Amino acid sequence: MKLTKYLAGFAAFAFASTSHANVTVSITGATAFRAATLSAIKAQYLLGNTNEGGASFKFAHSDATTLTNANTAIFIGSFPGVSGTTTIVCNFTGSVEGVAALMPEVPSNVQAPPTYYQPSLLASTTATPTGAELANQGATGVAALGTTSDIAFSDVGKDSTPYGKYSAFEDRAGVIVFCMVTNNGSTITNVTSQQFRAVLGKGPQPLSLFTGLSADDASFVVGMGRNDGSGTRTTYLAESGFGFVNPVQQYVLNTYTAGTPNVMNKLQLVPALGVSTLTPAGNGANCSTAANKSLVWGQTVDGNGGYNSGSSISTAMGMTGASVSVYGASGSLSFTGNVSLVSWLGTGDSMTTRNNGGKIIGYNGVTLTEIAANPNPTDRLTQLGTNDKLKISRGQYTAWGYERIMRNRNISSGDKLTVYTNVLGEIPNQIGTAGMLITDMVVGRDVDGGVVSP
């Protein structure tokens, strides 16, 4: 009898302890989908407060003003369906890197695990029912939580990464839409897949290739893009027919002159290790950083790197390109002349590009005209326009892919699965300019960059 009472009491204690346990969930992956992801997480915390009788939460992020622009964030508070305190940490490093972060088989010397904010960052912040916000934290106190992460968003399937042979749970969260962009002052209005492949594979091309004007023979178009840890890059290489494993010729901004608008001074082919040999690095240089090197396919060669975030490309796209000095990876001058930039960004970063003075342009003769001329340019979560959606959903515009949400294969039950399921369920309410719902689509595709058809 005593043993029975003891066991019953122990079971009750164990249940109470488990039901009120605290949990930490780490989320990484696609930078192009971070606005939708962060909005979905915040919305769930707000719902959790309602469900938990007015409980409170707090959050911090890396952006100076806006949560949805942040690459790094932390939330602490009540989450629906989870008792106790739920901490969600986010660091959006790129889709391919996110997939790697879920896989225990990927050694840290091949792909370092993401680093996340620690709860101590919010230790002195008092939670509120609407969420107490601590902005502009940069990289304060980030650290790796372990060798693997819990959840990753990816613009591409894991078979489009080097980690396709490893297992993880995967769902489609939506359709991620991309735009072709060019810089302030550029006369380019459209880029075809052929033209894009020429710039990526052969380096700077004459502007006349894009305009058909002999007067543009002496001006050049330069490709700018992401490193190969990015799902955006994997998507544009697959969609354009270039091939996502093939090395590219991409450039990064080295120096500029501040003004209205800012003016590019120097561009450089991305050095193999991402570190510039030009001295000095210059005002606002983004070239001298190892984060720009080629990361995942074992092709650490000149030109094959790129930016680790779309926001850096958005900044460069706001600049004019008259009399730009263009350098090779070793620092030797290739030419000086008028330069137009072309790149491919998620719709959120494309809107930022437009706000900075750059332009959203057509791809293969089709332009998302409503997002290109959005009357509310500061709102990154404004829905895509009706006509733009029709172009995408019925197959006229093909610069898109499926956004995947993946979870570590060890998460098959419990609180972490609840967080995964709730965030996935909230995404349709928060997808905004990131893309479209799966249910909106009349057409589909079987693989990244594959044929689009009903």
Asked whether residue 273 falls in the same domain as residue 317, the answer is yes
pLDDT tens string for the chain (454 positions)? Answer: 433 433 333 333 333 334 457 999 999 999 889 999 999 999 999 987 655 555 689 999 999 988 998 999 999 999 999 988 999 999 998 899 999 999 999 887 777 889 999 999 999 999 999 999 999 999 888 998 888 999 999 999 999 999 999 999 999 999 999 999 999 999 999 999 999 999 999 999 999 999 999 999 999 999 999 999 899 999 999 999 999 999 999 999 988 888 999 999 999 999 999 888 776 555 555 677 888 888 788 789 999 999 988 889 999 999 999 999 999 998 899 999 999 999 999 988 898 899 899 999 999 999 999 888 765 544 444 567 889 999 999 999 999 999 999 999 999 999 999 999 999 999 999 988 778 999 999 999 999 999 999 9
Total of domains in the chain: 2
Tell me if 105 is assigned to some domain.
yes
Q: Residues 282, 258: one domain?
A: yes
Residues 19 and 145 in one domain: yes
Residues 109 and 52 occupy one common structural domain: yes
Q: Are residues 235 and 349 in the same domain?
A: yes
**Boundaries of domain holding 120:** 2-175+407-440
Amino acid (one-letter) located at 204:
P
Same domain, 213 and 278: yes
Query: Is the same domain home to 223 and 338?
Result: yes
Q: Is residue 374 part of a domain?
A: yes
Helix (H, G, I), strand (E, B), or coil: what is residue 167? coil
Assigned domain for 280 exists: yes
Written as one letter, the residue type at 299 is: Q
**370 and 430, same domain (yes or no):** no
Instruction: Please tell me whether residues 170 and 256 are part of one structural domain.
Output: no
Q: Find the length of the chain.
A: 454
Residue 215 lies in a domain: yes
In a domain, 453, yes or no: no
Q: With beta carbons less than 8 A apart as the criterion, state whether 79 and 86 touch.
A: yes
Give yes or no: residues 16 and 81 share one domain: yes
Residue 389 lies in a domain: yes
Asked if residue 216 belongs to a domain, the reply is yes
- Residues 215 and 310 occupy one common structural domain: yes
Please indicate, yes or no, whether residues 386 and 419 belong to a single structural domain of this protein: no
Q: How many C-beta atoms surround the C-beta of residue 14 within 10 A?
A: 10
Residues 6+ apart with CB under 8 A from 415: 21, 23, 25, 81, 82, 86
- Say if 400 falls within a structural domain: no
Q: Mention every residue, 6+ apart, whose C-beta is less than 8 A from residue 133.
A: 58, 59, 60, 61, 67
Q: Which residues contact 164 (CB under 8 A, 6 or more apart)?
A: 157, 158
